[in-house]
Amino acid sequence: MNRGPIKNSRPDGKSFVEKAMDAHGSPLPDWLDELARLADANDLGVAGQRIGYSRSAVSTIISGKYLGDVARVEQMVRGALMSLVVECPVLGEIGRDRCLTEQKEPFRATSRHRAQLFHACKICPQRRKQ
């Protein structure tokens, strides 16, 4: 017995790339095109896990209704999906998505490594302005 919608089906029948083009116009920015293609190939949940956001956040980003920091989302997509790397003073060459994640971590004196990252992130040229 089938209960509920069919997995990965959309009521309007549009792909996520088409939804993004409707919301943002054509041509799409490269990072948004990459995110929408990943959502089409897998689903919103997989796309969200890859960039560190929820499936509903990915949906609102694609549909152009996201009220959060879109520039941060762009950098997370570029790091996680498009292999953008930056030079970290503590870790060396890392993905931009990991850089942003490390910047958000709180100070923890229980780990020397975590304490070094916390202090280095405060003065790093890759630091995002709050």
Asked if 26 and 43 sit in the same domain, the reply is: yes
CATH number of the structural domain spanning residue 71? 1.10.260
Q: Find the domain containing 44 and state its range.
A: 16-80
Asked, for residue 10, whether it belongs to a domain, the answer is: no
Write the DSSP symbol of residue 12: T
Residue range 104-116, pLDDT digits in tens: 988 888 888 889 9
Residue range 32-64, pLDDT digits in tens: 999 999 999 998 999 999 999 999 999 999 999
* Cα dihedral 79, 101, 89, 96 in deg (nearest 10): 10
| Structural domains in the chain (count) | 2
Which of residues 45, 65, 80 is at a domain's end?
A: 80
Residue range 75-97, pLDDT digits in tens: 999 999 999 999 999 999 999 99
Asked if 39 and 64 sit in the same domain, the reply is: yes
